[in-house]
Amino acid sequence: MKKALLIILIILGIGFADNLESSVLMQAMNDELNRTMADLRIANQDRPYYVAYRATDELVTEIQAGFGGLISSASNKNRHLWVDLRVGSAAMDNSNFLSEAGGPSAIESDQTGLPLDDDYYALRQSIWLVTDGTYKKALERLSRKKAVIQNRQGKDSLPDFSACDPCVEIEPEISAVPDRAQWENQLKDISKIFQRYPGIDESSVTMRVDRGSQYFLDSEGSRSRTAIGRVAIEVLAKTRSIDGDPLEDFVGFYAQAVDGLPAWDRIYQAVAAMAETLSQLSRLKKEEGYSGPVLFLGQAAAELMFQALAKGSSDPRSPLKENDMVGRNANPDNLGTLGDRMGRKVLPEFLSAYDDPGLKRWGEVSLVGGFAIDDQGVRAQRVDLVKDGKMTGLLMSRAPVKKISATNGHARFRNETYGGRACGMPGVMVVESRVNQTPDELMAELIATAKEYGNQYALIVSRLTPTRPKSTPEQYLRWFMPPAGAGDKPVLSAPSVCYRVDVETGKAELVRGLDFSGVTARVLRDISAVSRDPYVYNFTYHDSDGNDLPTTVIAPAVLIDEMDLVTKETKPTKAPVLPHPFFKKR
Amino acid sequence: MTRGLWLRLAIVVLLASTVLLGADDPVLTALVQELNRSYRTLSQVQPAPLYYLEYEVWDEHAVSISASLGAITGDSDERHRNLDVDVRVGSAKLDNTHEIRGGGFDFSDYIPSNVEVPIDNSGDGLKALLWAQTDRKFKAAQERYTKVLAERQVKVLETDTSSDFTSGPAATYASRASEIVLDPAAWRSRLKQLSTAFRPYPWILSSSVSLTATQVNRYIVNSERSKIIDGNTRYYLRINVSTLADDGMELYLGARWYATKPERLPGDKAITAKIDSVIANLDALRKAPVVEPYSGPAIMMNEACGVFFHEIFGHRIEGHRQKSEFEGQTFTKKISEPIMPDFISVVDDPTMTMFGGRDLNGHYVYDDEGIAAQKAEIVSSGIMKGFLLSRSPIARFPQSNGHGRRSYGRRVVTRQGVLSIKSTKEVPIDDLRAALIAECKRQNKPYGLIFYDISGGYTSTGREGAQSFKVIPLFVKRVYVDGRPEEVVRGVDIVGTPLLSLSKITLTGDDYAIFNGTCGAESGWVPVSSIAPSILVSEIEVEKKAKGQDKPPILPAPGMAQ
């Protein structure tokens, strides 16, 4: 009897904790949403036909260390609300439009901070005001959008918002227990590694831990609470080469929770390896260029797939631009370049790729890119991007494109110069091959191809420069000089670690200062062989607009038969006048 | 033993401890060691040797809690240390900081150049960053110095040929800021409670009650062997409230208290009373008529007068503006000439800590160039006497008076500290009001204006623009000559030109009050105070405020039933 009672109590307890209605935040959003749909209207203007609220409730811990010292450490509670309010109709609404329309000045629109307490009254007040501002901005944007369309003939008539089934989901809450003191010490220890490398001028180590929940509610009946769990340790090191080129490398360690990170000693080893390689690079002269086969290993192969395939399949719906000025600054990250390749060949026929945000683990490794519900409240689905070399799908939000009308639950919110948007973005992308080779076979093929080419060396790239967060001066520069728009950026970033292998002796040496030349999306079709074991690449995609998107790419090593690399253009700097104060005694 | 000796002994002990306090400070030690090492070598680098090097570290602990409508909206407790490195190459006569005329917009001036350094006294961590930043700044200084020299060849000589820098004495000083003393839990519930006072007013768009406590120790060391730790602990309590009038005009009011100790902040009763009066004023304001452009007599109430003087006068007596070829230089050539009525004197004295029993947040002991703050005499009985000065000398004023200020990441320029307006033609405030009505009658005006609260303003000191100012009043009343009650009005900005406006002051009150605020300019945000009486001006011009076009919220505020 006693036992039965206990079980009942536990069930009740769980039931209570997992009841969304018991959340004051959810309650406040729900009540304001109902009122908005029923009553919000300016006379003679459209009423909202769709409203969604997405709120995050997090504890964010950020720690920074450098050269053995603790630079900063703070934990802050953070609540934020985003409103997606649509006027017009699903066929034509205020979305998919980049505009300078700012909305009301005295009332916030689109997003706002929320009170940190579970105070229904105060929460309602914030939600009410931002909804009001968002509604007014939506009306302004729709009227501007109609004006632009009227003045441009022959604009396609794609609908703006696709239908989808309501989704209800409740993930268990994660309680936030930051162990800041311990992490501070670990971070200081990591940063101290650089005290062993006189060849490195500057370094920093940052750690960010996000713990909490995301709430979603919309006027179509979707309601969900999903867990937010992210931890990122990122290490940046800078130096200059003997001939004055600025050099840097950036490595990161990512997981959903601290216990999912690699063991601390593994992290130390990886950072030390990075420091060692960068030190070695700093002592090398620039390589004079290379043409021939290139083998992409590990991170480099995954970055290649991310940059050329995942970004190309992202955000395929190109929004209408209000004017040329808006157009010039749009899409600085070159997303969606493969949007028009549906049904066409983008990879060799032995390769396929899919994105499945539902994947949480790959063997022993926990994956960071996944999510159960996307930022439009839609259940994330697996999508086949490429089958047997042909493009079969794109990363979709609820913004339809020509050949795909439905979402596949890949919407991720990104702030942009002209307001934020939910864009179809990768979660966990997996590249698979029907045929594959052992590392030795791949190496042999690399050497053989290089010989055919008449080369004395073959090239192996083991790291491609990943995106990293911008420093404060870089952020300011961005303010003065907006990033170049789509088309101006290379498809592939420069290699940060690569080796040349002597075709006769098989001896590998580190080389420096190479950059890809003339690479287009076609590079993917030139893949001639892949390895058996894929590399699991967890990372944060730090885009040009300052968004940080946890992402996973799982991809095998790839051999590309022919690539051109040139000497990387750099702006040489003078050597420091004084020796580094720590290393001066040695 | 006599009491006098005891006192002297106490002072000796205090001095000794002050010196010791600095001596074993790990941050100070690291700064001095690295500064000396850098200076020794960089001062030998030709052709543009380093001749001055300064490190300033801002060691800051900030606690901030805010509440709105009964709920906490912000809650943070953070420590940061930021480093500024100032490098001068060439010579004091001509160095890398020299103004370059033409050559386009240099946005590097607008990018903060501070670096975050360790908070845990890690000497190695701090020194590594000092080294990297000094090297970066030194190279940038050399590059800029080359440009300066090149420009000399092609441009005419400047009007003011003063040197770029002036030497300063070696100063040793250590007075650390006291730790922040507050119970966060108690303040959370207190702020929540206070913020519920706004709940019954559905027309209020946003409201907040917030507490910010900052403990800042500025470490300044330079190649002139100065070693300074100047600390300030500051507590601010703020009320902010805003609404939209039916015609779309944004209206906001607030109140703020400043103290160096938490017990000197007001109690709940005083805060609640202030909240009630701010709400009543805002309510009156949103229903008030919009004023048509007007020119006539007005009273600027004491605190508003402090802001008024800060904006229209204070920014024009900043030394660097007298030198720059881009500045309007309203007062540059006015030394020894009358510039305002002879019953008014103006000084800026950052060494003042209190006035009328209240703390002054513009107080500091050393400026950001390592120079002791001094009282600067600006106007004596209406006659222009001097300027606020940094270590960038100007014609006839070769020495700093300790007004070189900045927030971290910015380049120092001259700024105000504690601006004090003193009158010898004072009357009680009721008499000042009577004088306003008399002046209106004399000028045949149906009413005069009283400015109670001013938020700040813009003053265009650049040569390219008109030498005018615009000041944004928040709370204004109309006083009728026919005895009708005072009436709240809205929608006006004060506009004018500084020389003319100052000459129109005819009488002042005896009701001196402090305005404690934060001033933003080229060198960032700095705490400032103004002390002023209410003033009567025979003529002031107001124009229509640019108005927002936003409709007030469409739906009523939710949950009003509660």
Selected residues 243-262 of chain B with any CB under 8 Å from a CB in chain A: 244, 248, 250
Mutation target vs A (from B105, B410, B555; most A CBs, 10 A cutoff): B555
Per-residue pLDDT reduced to its tens digit, B182-233: 999 999 999 999 999 999 999 999 999 999 999 999 999 999 999 999 999 9
Three-state DSSP at B133 gives: helix
Could you give the C-alpha distances from B528 to A120, B254, B265, B306, B367, in angstroms and in order?
Answer: 39, 18, 18, 11, 13
Is the CB of residue A120 less than 8 Å away from at least one CB of chain B? yes
Q: Is the pLDDT of residue A516 over 80?
A: yes
Q: What is the mean pLDDT of residues B279-297?
A: 94
Per-residue pLDDT for A521 more than 50? Answer: yes
A242: contact with B, CB 8 A cutoff:
no
pLDDT at B561: 43
pLDDT value, residue B559: 67
Q: pLDDT value at position B321?
A: 85
Distance between B104 CA and the closest CA of chain A, angstroms? 14
Q: Given CB atoms, is B71 within the 8 Å cutoff of chain A?
A: yes
> Pick from B37, B68, B126: which is nearest to A122 by CB?
B68
- Which residues, 6 or more positions from B58, have their beta carbon under 8 angstroms from its beta carbon? B80, B81, B82, B83, B84, B114, B216, B217, B218, B408
> What are the b/e assignments for A131-167, b being 16+ CB within 10 Å?
bbbbbbbbbbbbebbeeeeeeeeeeeeebbbbebeeb
Average pLDDT rounded to a whole number, residues B495-516: 93
Q: What is the arithmetic mean of pLDDT over B303-307?
A: 94
Nearest CA in chain B to A477: B111
pLDDT greater than 90 at residue B522: no
Name the residue facing B125 among A31, A68, A117 (closest C-beta).
A68
Determine whether the interchain pair B124/A582 forms a contact, defined as Cβ–Cβ distance below 8 Å: yes
pLDDT interval class at A50 (50, 70, 90)? very high
Contacts of B71 in chain A (CB under 8 A): 115-117, 119, 121-123
The percentage of residues in chain A with a pLDDT greater than 70, rounded to a whole number, is 93
Choose the mutation target among B120, B121, B208 for the interface with A, i.e. most A CBs under 10 Å: B120
Q: Which of A105, A106, A577 sits opposite B41 (nearest CB)?
A: A577
Q: A 515-574 residues with CB below 8 A of B?
A: 573-574
Report the chain A residue with the minimal C-alpha distance to residue B43: A577
Q: Is the pLDDT of residue A486 over 60?
A: no
Q: Among B69, B122, B242, select the one facing A121 at the smallest CB separation.
A: B69
pLDDT 10s digits, A194-215: 999 999 999 999 999 999 999 9
Q: What is the pLDDT of residue B1?
A: 36
Q: B310 — contact with chain A (CB < 8 Å)?
A: no
Whether residues A581 and B116 touch (CB distance < 8 A) is answered with no
Distances (CA, A) of A410 to A209, A254, A422, B266: 23, 20, 9, 53
pLDDT at B395: 87
Inform me whether the C-beta atom of residue A80 falls under 8 Å from chain B C-beta atoms. Answer: no
- Taking 60 as the threshold, does the pLDDT of residue A3 lie above it? no
Give the SS3 label for residue A427.
Answer: coil
> Would the CB atoms of A115 and B73 count as touching at under 8 Å?
yes
Residues of A with CB below 8 A from B555's CB?
A: 35-36, 39-40, 128, 132
- Residue B224, number of CB atoms within 10 A of its CB: 14
Q: What are phi and psi of A252, to 5 degrees?
A: -135, 155
Q: Which of A167-181, A342-356, A447-461 has the lowest mean pLDDT?
A: A167-181
pLDDT band at B20 (very low <50, low <70, confident <90, very high): very low
The reply to whether B500 touches chain A by the CB within 8 Å rule is no
Please, which pLDDT band fits residue A485 given cuts at 50, 70 and 90? low
* B456 vs B356 pLDDT, higher one: B356
The pLDDT-based confidence of B8 (bands split at 50, 70, 90) is very low
- CB of A355 less than 8 A from some CB of B: no
- Residue A176 reports pLDDT greater than 50: yes
In this predicted structure, what is the pLDDT of residue B144?
93
Find residues 6-65 of chain A whose CB sits inside 8 Å of chain B. Answer: 31-32, 35-36, 39-42, 64-65
Backbone angles phi, psi at A181, to 5 degrees: -60, -45
The pLDDT of residue A16 is: 38
Residue of B nearest to A574 (CA): B139
* Percentage of chain B lying above the pLDDT 70 cut: 94
* Mean pLDDT value across residues A93-115: 91
What is the pLDDT at residue B562?
A: 43
Residue A307 confidence class, pLDDT cut points 50, 70, 90:
very high
pLDDT at res. B354: 97
pLDDT digits (tens, 9 = 90+) for A331-388: 888 899 999 999 999 999 999 999 999 999 999 899 999 999 999 999 999 999 999 9
Nearest to B368 by CA among B317, B311, B417, B318: B417
Question: Which chain B residues are Cβ-neighbours of A582 within 8 angstroms?
Answer: 124, 127-128
- Tell me the percentage of chain B whose pLDDT exceeds 90: 76
| Inter-chain CB proximity A578 and B38 less than 8 Å | yes
Please answer yes or no on whether A72 and B42 come within 8 Å at the CB atom: no
In this predicted structure, what is the pLDDT of residue B6? Answer: 39
Neighbours of B125 (CB within 10 A): 26
Task: Check CB contact of A474 with chain B, cutoff 8 Å.
Answer: no
Tokens read off for A468: 């990293």
Residue B330: the pLDDT is: 78
Phi then psi for B286, rounded to 5 degrees?
Answer: -70, -25
**B window 174-203, beta carbon within 8 A of A:** 192, 199
Percent of chain A exceeding pLDDT 90 equals 81
Contact A326, A365 (CB under 8 A): no
Q: Tell me the nearest-neighbour CA distance from A225 into chain B, angstroms.
A: 22
Whether B338 contacts B362, CB under 8 Å: no
β B50-68/B71-89 pair status? antiparallel
Tens-digit pLDDT profile for residues A206-244: 999 999 999 999 999 999 999 999 999 999 999 999 989
Q: Supply the DSSP string of B204-215, one letter for each residue.
A: --EEEEEEEEEE
Whether the pLDDT of residue B486 is over 80: the answer is yes
Q: Flag whether residue A260 sits within 8 Å of chain B, measured between CB atoms.
A: no
Residues of A in contact with B68 (CB under 8 A): 115, 122, 125
The stretch B352-371 carries a mean pLDDT of 97
Interface test with A, best of B40, B109, B124, B198 (most A CBs within 10 A): B124
Instruction: With a cut of 50, say whether residue B384 has pLDDT above it.
Output: yes
**B485 has a chain A CB within 8 A of its CB:** no
Are A122 and B562 in contact (CB < 8 Å)?
no
How far is C-alpha B451 from the chain's CA centre? 21
Q: Does B79 touch chain A (CB under 8 A)?
A: yes
Predicted pLDDT at A585? 62
pLDDT confidence band for B325 (50 / 70 / 90):
confident
Nearest to B118 among A69, A76, A576 (CB): A69
Q: Are B75 and A77 a contacting pair at CB < 8 A?
A: yes
Contacts of range A360-364, beta carbons closer than 8 Å, 24 or more positions apart: A362/A536, A362/A552, A362/A554, A363/A536
d(CA B62, CA B56): 18
Give yes or no for A69 touching B (CB within 8 A). Answer: yes
A473-482, B136-145, B313-322, B529-538 — which is least confidently predicted?
A473-482
d(CA B295, CA B293) in angstroms, rounded, equals: 7
Nearest Cβ partner of A121 from B70, B118, B122? B70
Question: What pLDDT, on the 0 to 100 scale, is given for residue A570?
Answer: 86
- Name the residue of chain A whose CA is nearest to B201's CA: A125
Confidence (pLDDT) at B500 = 87
Name which of A40, A119, A191 is nearest B555 (Cβ-Cβ).
A40
Residue A37 has pLDDT above 70, yes or no: yes
Q: Is A21 left (phi over 0), alpha (psi -120 to 50) or beta?
A: alpha
Tell whether B553 lies on the interface with A, counting CB pairs under 8 A.
yes
Q: How far is B131 from chain A (nearest CA, A)?
A: 7
Tokens of A92: 């034509």
pLDDT tens-digit readout, B137-175: 999 999 999 999 988 888 777 777 889 999 999 999 999
A480 to B80: CB separation less than 8 angstroms, yes or no = no
Q: For position A488, what pLDDT does the model report? A: 61
Residue of B nearest to A129 (CA): B553
Contact A66 B128 (CB under 8 A): yes
Question: What would the pLDDT profile of B112-126 be if each residue is shown by its tens digit?
Answer: 889 999 999 889 999
